[in-house]
Structure 1
Amino acid sequence: MLMTEANKDAVDAITDQWHAVRPDLDTVPMAVFGRINRIARAVSDEMERTYNRYGVSLGEFDVVATLRRSGAPYTLSPRQLSATLMLTSGGMTGRLDKLEKAGLLCRNPDPNDRRGLQVTITERGLKLIDEAVAAGLEVQRAALSGLAGEEVEALSGLLRKLMAGVG
């Protein structure tokens, strides 16, 4: 795409300013990550608003969604949830408390470890997460609507390749 003043964005304005004061800098990496960050923030904010309509935050959604995608019987230990979501045990406990109080999951003793617990999604939680995940996908689909299908696939592949190189 040919760059014109009409199709410049806020990130272009930032990199243009850097070019003016430091023409020796290659600001392409700044432009790439500036756009990735802005897109991620905007979509994340919209996802938060979407999940709030279902009575859960983005973080709480992640807990219930992790249980759902684990497959039947939709049960994991708090430790497995914490590891998957990269949360401290204290952070996980707070989320589990709120989600249990809302009737979206329950905690029961682990029959294989008398010191352990198992977290299981409830029928209410299963219904909520199935609706919320579909609504969240619509938000993401809308964010990608300016791209053709093959562009979305290419972008996904490029981001996978980028992600492999950074961590």
Structure 2
Amino acid sequence: MDTEYAEDSVDRHIARWSGKVPFDVPTEAVITRIQLLAKHVKYGKERALAETGLQEFEFETMHRLASRGTPWRAPSAELAAELLLSPAGMTGRLDTLEKSGLVRRVRALGDRRRVDVELTDDGHRRWTEAMRWRGIAEAEMVDPLDDGERAALSALLKRMLRHVEEKQEK
């Protein structure tokens, strides 16, 4: 069966609402599909966390550290700002991560007043495993598309996103 023409939940949604409320069908179809796909991305992330036994806040903190490359380290104040946490909130989060053996606090090189946070080897291993599971979930989502279709979809979504971001900047 050619899935391109098979009915999906959005087609049924549009059929249910057609004639009941005014909306542009192509716009409704695009936006509703984006919303549903975003939910599936979220579920994939949740599955990745479940597979690795990590909580969202643990993953997000480790993700920020891992993005810096070896030695996966950042000043705690900088990390708190990126994660939009108060100093007290960051302290509580780091206490939990440190007790779990995922991060450690170290004095900053050259400035003993500053505390840096770094991933432990176990923290990096668990973060890497969560990223692997996320990659599997994402690959499953785009699996029906060939390389050209993926590139075309990416370009269209980029155009939409740039339009929205540019409007917000004004």
Q: TM-score, normalised by structure 1?
A: 0.81
Structure 2: distance between partners of 1:19 and 1:95: 48
Give 2:131's match in structure 1, choosing from 130, 133, 139. Answer: 133
Total equivalences in the alignment? 162
SS at match of 1:21: coil
TM-score norm. by structure 2 comes to: 0.80
After superposition, what is the alpha-carbon deviation per residue over 1:95-138, rounded to whole angstroms, capped at 9, x for unaligned?
A: 43322221111123334261x42110111111222222122111
Structure 1 residue 30, shift from structure 2 partner? 2.5
Q: Quick check: 2:51–2:133 contact (8 Å CA) kept in 1?
A: no
Tell me if structure 1 keeps the 8 A contact 2:63–2:127.
yes
Q: Give the one of 94, 97, 109 matched to 1:96.
A: 94
Indicate whether 1:148 and 2:146 are aligned.
yes
* 1:91–1:19 Cα change, 3 Å: farther
Q: Which residue identity does 1:9 align to in structure 2? A: D
Query: In the alignment, does 2:10 pair up with 1:11?
Result: yes
Higher RCO, Cα 8 Å, sep 6+: 2
- Spell out the pairing of 1:14-163 with structure 2 (5 A cutoff): 14-22=13-21, 24-85=22-83, 87-89=84-86, 92-111=90-109, 112=111, 114=113, 116-163=114-161
Distance 1:151 1:56 in 2: 34
Taking a change above 3 Å as real, the CA distance of residues 140 and 102 of structure 1, as seen in their structure-2 partners, is: same
CA RMSD of aligned residues (A): 2.5
Deviations 1:9-64 (A, max 9, x none): 22222222332213x53133222221112111122112212222212123421221
**Percent of pairs identical after alignment?**
31
- Structure 2: runs of 5+ lacking an equivalent: 166-170
**Alpha-carbon distance in structure 2 between the residues aligned to 1:92 and 1:159:** 34
Letter in 2 for 1:88: L
Residues 1:75 and 1:152: Cα distance change in structure 2 (over 3 Å): same
